[in-house]
Amino acid sequence: MTAREARWGYLLVLLAAALFGLNAGVSRIPLRSGTPTDTFTTVRITGAFVAFVLIALVVDRSALRVPRGRALLLIAGLGIVGFAGLQWTYNIAINRLPLGIALLLEYLGPVLVVLWVWMVRRERVHQRMWPALGLAVGGLAVVSQVWKGLTLDGLGVVMALGAAVCFATYFLLGEHTGTADVGGPLHVILWAFAAATVGMNLVQPAWTIDTLGDDVSMLGRYAESSVPVWGAMTWIVLLGTVAPFFLLLIALRVLSATVVSIVAMLEPVVAALVGWVWFSETLNAIQLLGVAAVLTGIMLAQTARDVEPALPPPQ
């Protein structure tokens, strides 16, 4: 990996994180207009799959080749868990929790990445891993204010933690696609979204959505303004799903999952800013200290991984 490739990798992750953070706010528009979470997730994933097929038809038709054998299993796992599972749990979490806290809980996923490579791959990790975990868990307790009987929505917390598991799976499987013979990034993400599309449409078909033509409030400080649901969904599919997921998968071809997950921590920061500017969400001083503790713990955990796998450049 050259220095130029690494710089491009960092830039791609930063841009993806910013788009994901902003998308957390946009997603609330259809979710709070009455669109069921399952239907919303199915439409989002199905729309992204269709977009990737169109991109492949124009850019690289070889990406339409159906993967086989081990590659098919790897890509299907990435799609069902890393895409469909992540989006379903994430959508519920952001609808029931403040944006910053929902994303903060999701970003325990990078800590799970390090625990996985230590316990399963038997890679050596630095001793700072343990104080890092203490900071992350303690910080979450402070953010949640457990001494008040857990002031956060219980289902929202469970879904956010589920998103953390799916997020870790996304990074680990996405990293593995860079070392396995599964094809280029477009081939991988197209068929991963194909698997996710099949899975979500079995749960809740996309055509059952009946709110696309509705004009709905933009919520928060912009509640007096309205947008059509189809307009919000178009943003969510193209700029909140297709662009950032593809950018991250390309970045995972030149950077390790550990590095990508550290840089991607910009997402909860952006989401917290969106929550403050758009939805007037605030945290008290003690909760802000908890946020700082969690972020510090996550960063320490990522630097505790001593072995950085070398990934080939994008194909």
For position 237, what pLDDT does the model report? 94
Supply the DSSP string of 102-158, one letter for each residue. Answer: HHHHHTTHHHHHHHHHHHTS---B-TTHHHHHHHHHHHHHHHHTGGGT--S-HHHHH
117 and 123 Cβ atoms separated by less than 8 Å: yes
305 and 258 Cβ atoms separated by less than 8 Å: yes
267 and 21 Cβ atoms separated by less than 8 Å: yes
Which is nearest to 226 in space by CA: 20, 22, 32, 19?
32
Does 30 fall in a domain? yes
207 and 5 Cβ atoms separated by less than 8 Å: no
Q: Where are the alpha helices (DSSP H) in 127-254?
A: 129-144, 154-177, 185-203, 229-237, 243-251
For position 315, what pLDDT does the model report? 27
The continuous run of DSSP H or E covering 261 comes out as: helix 257-263
CA distance 150 to 264: 27
All residue ranges of the chain with pLDDT < 70 are 1, 125, 140, 143-151, 175, 177-182, 257-258, 261-262, 265, 298, 301-315
309 and 256 Cβ atoms separated by less than 8 Å: yes
Q: By percentage, how much of the chain surpasses pLDDT 70?
A: 85
Q: Residue 217 — left, alpha, or beta (φ > 0 → left; ψ -120 to 50 → alpha)? A: beta
pLDDT in tens, 37-68: 899 999 999 999 999 999 999 988 988 998 88
AA letter at 152: L
Does 314 fall in a domain? no
Does 117 fall in a domain? yes
Does 308 fall in a domain? no
Q: Is 3 helix (H, G, I), strand (E, B) or coil?
A: helix
Which residues are CB-contacts of 121 (< 8 A; sequence separation ≥ 6)?
A: none
Q: How many Cβ atoms from other residues are within 10 Å of residue 141's Cβ?
A: 15
Does 309 fall in a domain? no
For position 312, what pLDDT does the model report? 30
Domain encompassing residue 88: 3-303
Does 181 fall in a domain? yes
CA distance 198 to 283: 39
Number of folded domains that form the chain:
1
Does 311 fall in a domain? no
The continuous run of DSSP H or E covering 227 comes out as: strand 226-228
For position 15, what pLDDT does the model report? 93
For position 233, what pLDDT does the model report? 94
Which residues are CB-contacts of 79 (< 8 A; sequence separation ≥ 6)?
A: 191, 192, 193, 194, 195, 196, 197, 199
Q: Is 260 helix (H, G, I), strand (E, B) or coil?
A: helix
Q: How far is the first Cα of the chain from the last one, in angstroms, to the nearest whole number?
A: 13
Does 76 fall in a domain? yes
